[in-house]
Amino acid sequence: MTQEEFSTTYFGCGMQAIYLGSVYAIVTINVQEKLFGLYDGLNAEDCEDQDVIWVRCENMELVK
């Protein structure tokens, strides 16, 4: 995802991303830094702060 795409994308509940060939839940974003907080567990509601993988938008793609 480019920074331009990040800036024009609406983010909502239940979104997923592909990172390093695996699918992750998007549990949070950092708009200022254009970062995604990803979680690879089964239930995103169980995600703790230490479980979040921070990824630059250019290094992943949204699941469509």
Q: What is the residue-averaged pLDDT of the chain?
A: 91
For the chain, the structural domain boundaries read: 3-62
Closest residue by Cα to residue 27 from 49, 2, 60, 5: 49
Q: Which of 21, 40, 37, 19 is nearest to 29 (CA)?
A: 37
- The pTM of the full predicted model, rounded to 2 decimals, is 0.86
pLDDT (0 to 100) of residue 46? 76
Q: Give me the pLDDT at residue 56, please.
A: 97
- The DSSP H or E segment spanning 36 is strand 35-39
Q: Contact, 44 vs 64, CB < 8 A?
A: no
> Given this model, what pLDDT does residue 29 score?
95
pLDDT tens, 9-35? 999 989 999 999 999 999 999 999 999
Report the share of the chain in percent with pLDDT over 70. 98
Query: Residue 41: how many CB atoms within 10 A of its CB?
Result: 13
